[in-house]
Chains A and B, each alone.
Chain A
Amino acid sequence: DAGVIQSPRHEVTEMGQEVTLRCKPISGHDYLFWYRQTMMRGLELLIYFNNNVPIDDSGMPEDRFSAKMPNASFSTLKIQPSEPRDSAVYFCASKGGGLANTDTQYFGPGTRLTVL
């Protein structure tokens, strides 16, 4: 299994630009999670999906952030417009559901975002 795949691994952009982060979960996993990691706030859950439907987006910081999951093998996290305080490492994770439900999440390698 290839594991959770994220792209790009690194992104440097200027304030005000749109940023799109991408994630491919492990095949067969029904849950997908987006996290943000910063030195100040640690690891924060932003949003998670079950069967492509957003279940809890209470961690999304503001309207500049949006996430979609158009199908079971792809999700995006978009920031528009980006601000320097959005600089962080963004992780995607997935886990199994249904009959194979498990509470173990599998993380991707992360996208390091720098907003200048």
Chain B
Amino acid sequence: GAVVSQHPSWVICKSGTSVKIECRSLDFQATTMFWYRQFPKQSLMLMATSNEGSKATYEQGVEKDKFLINHASLTLSTLTVTSAHPEDSSFYICSAKLGGPGTEAFFGQGTRLTVV
């Protein structure tokens, strides 16, 4: 199957700093990438959808100025958590789709963000 690589797998940062998470599709070109947030023992909550070369579409309640998404190429999307606070601590997961009706999504291994 296709491989999606997410980096870093875990990060600890100080409150007020920014953190960038990368999501790469290693062996395919992803027309669409998604960013999710997952709280402990809960399901995935979609944060935003990004298509290469266009602005990301954010879900209701997700602050676009806080969670900056850049999808500069067909193989790379980045999520930057700006001015992080402890409440931003969570597990962030990206996924990528090849495109076309009903295609499955491939997931990165996730990033555990801890803001201290």
Q: Do A and B come from one complex?
A: no
B-side residues, CB < 8 A to A, are none
Residues of A within 8 A of B (CB): none
